């Protein structure tokens, strides 16, 4: 996996979630492309081939970071 900042991974997860919600609410060719681009970026950032695996990997990285640096410390 390429090294990305926690901020980058949070941004990619947020973009993917937004794209997925928009596509589920009203699927159009535009929302399909947006979802595909978001999924691709997340896969590239995490080094995973499947979107679900990429989402899980990004969440794992963020969870590990949160454990190393708890809020308020």
12-53 pLDDT tens trace: 999 999 999 999 999 999 999 999 999 999 999 999 999 999
Q: Is 47 left (phi over 0), alpha (psi -120 to 50) or beta?
A: left
User: Are 60 and 69 in contact, with CB atoms under 8 Å apart?
Assistant: no
Gyration radius (Cα) of the chain, Å: 13
C-beta atoms surrounding 9 within 10 Å: 20
**pLDDT grade for 71, boundaries at 50, 70 and 90:** low
CB 6 within 8 A of CB 46: no
Domain ranges of the chain: 6-67
- pLDDT per residue over 48-61, tens digit each? 999 999 999 999 99
Closest CA to 54 of 64, 67, 65, 39: 39
């Amino acid at each position: 996996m390429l090294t990305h900042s926690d901020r980058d991974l949070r941004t990619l997860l947020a973009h993917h979630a937004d794209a997925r919600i928009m596509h589920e609410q009203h699927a159009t060719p535009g929302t399909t492309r947006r979802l595909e681009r978001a999924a691709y970026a997340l896969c590239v950032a995490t080094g995973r081939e499947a979107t679900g695996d990429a989402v899980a990997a990004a969440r794992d990285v963020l969870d590990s970071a949160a454990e190393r640096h708890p809020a308020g410390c």
